[in-house]
Amino acid sequence: MANEIVMNVTLRETRLALVENGQVAELHIERKGERGIVGNIYKGRVIKVLPGMQAAFVDIGLPRAAFLYVGDIHPHVRDLNFMVSEEDDEEAQEDENGESLSEQIPSFTPIEDLIQEGEDILVQISKEPLGSKGARITSHISIPGRFLVFMPTVDHVGISRRIENEAERQRLKDIISHIKPLTCGLIVRTVSEHENGEKLQADLKFLQGTWERILEKEKRVPASSLIYEDLDLCLRGVRDLFTETVSRLVVDSKEHYNRILEFMDSFMPFLKPCVELYEGDEPIFDYFGIEMELNKALGRKVWLKSGGYINIDFTEALVAIDVNTGRYVGKRNLQETILKTNLEAVKEIAYQLRLRNIGGIIIVDFIDMDRPTDREKVSNSLQEALRRDKQKTNILKISELGLVQMTRKRTRESLTRTLCEQCPYCEGKGFVKSLTTVCYEILRAICRDISDEYSSCIQITAHPEVVKLLFEQESEQLEQIQKKYDTKIQLNPDPNLFQEQYEIVSC
């Protein structure tokens, strides 16, 4: 089954789903006023240097100061895995887009010798603010294009590890060696496979122009200013996810359909026939079965086909995943029952990590296995299942207790933290959907109900805070719905309802 990108766009929210072989593999959500900032470039000002931590805090204009580690500012100490030899190819690492990028290692030059308090510095966001922590930043700038990533602060070349054919890697290396500017670095992205040199050169020219405009703007603006903003989710998804393995992109907004086609004119005109405008009456995520998967992705318990299940629990420091046999009792003996459940759980865990965008430290508690060969099978299976994950993972061997310790690179909040907030009814022990999420659910439910059964008047009864948000922030969209369906919408606050509860009835 072919891969697809499904995009749902409203006035204040964009949702993108990558569907692989009929299964939702990735979900990305971006809301107006809450756009992600990873990749943005700022002119910051150093406000505090901490020699004891070999780090600094930089004011870039956000509510919390950004964190700059010494390894992210030293221009010479970089653990890059570049395509300069056969050995380097084998050890190439990937960023969140599956590209060969660097990881910083500790610098031997003290941070106090590199930057001073009050100094202005050009930095880029490498990790979103998470929880109470500010954003993490780096002075090693990288600007992604369709085919290349341009790195003006290093003089090296990298090839995506996902390009496995050695002859193709060498061909791309030869092309880059002829077009690469002196003292600058380039990374060849996965979508460059089998592309000609003219396309790569055109992409490079565009990225060079972008960097020149960044430098010009830096001279004009004061410190703590935004210099460069990455594309919004709509175009970023096209740039990063629309590869040759994707058969089509379906979007339900005429405006964004035209934006995508215009963007493709410059970078990938040959893929324009694969873009479709969805004009059906049923909401696009309902039509493709994504809405149901989205709700499942917020649940704590995930059932396995055999009858076993996994529990996913978030803590302050890590994520714990527990595997259980559940209703599965097996057919032959206990060891085979345990092994089958653990192997089935491996595939689901790899899928859930990617779908929910879970990162940081992860502990997986598999069912105890007495036989070392079984533990080896489960460990190898987990390694293999995570190979498709674009985020970098590091997995330790499974212990005798059946525990696996692993890390997964985290640059943005997980799906749960994006869509939910701490529950006021259980004092932070669980989650409920946020007011904004409930509002959008109500708006989608209205459209769905109207399409099923036409009504000249609709009454929405919900928690007072939900009604307030609908009235204050979503009045424009409510007016659009009323005009489109020639109906009247009444809002009725009910303090007896919980935040997630609402009722939609015909007047």
Let me know: does 118 contact 46? Beta carbons within 8 Å: yes
Number of Cβ within 10 Å of residue 350's Cβ equals 20
Q: What is the mean pLDDT of residues 370-379?
A: 90
Q: Per-residue pLDDT tens for 274-307? A: 999 999 989 999 999 999 888 888 888 999 988 8
Q: Quick one: angle between helices 233-241 and 254-267, nearest 10? A: 40
Classify residue 259 as left (phi > 0), alpha (psi -120 to 50) or beta: alpha
Radius of gyration of the chain (CA): 25
pLDDT bracket for residue 433 (50, 70, 90): confident
Q: φ and ψ at 201, to 5 degrees?
A: -70, -40
Q: Determine what percent of the chain is predicted with pLDDT higher than 90.
A: 47
pTM of the model: 0.76
Q: Which residue is it, tokens 């050995």?
A: 87
Q: What is the mean pLDDT of the chain?
A: 85
Q: Which residue is it, tokens 């299964």?
A: 23
Q: Per-residue pLDDT tens for 191-219? A: 888 888 888 999 999 999 999 999 999 99
Is the pLDDT assigned to residue 432 strictly greater than 60?
Answer: yes
Q: Minimal CA–CA distance to 188: which of 103, 94, 267?
A: 94
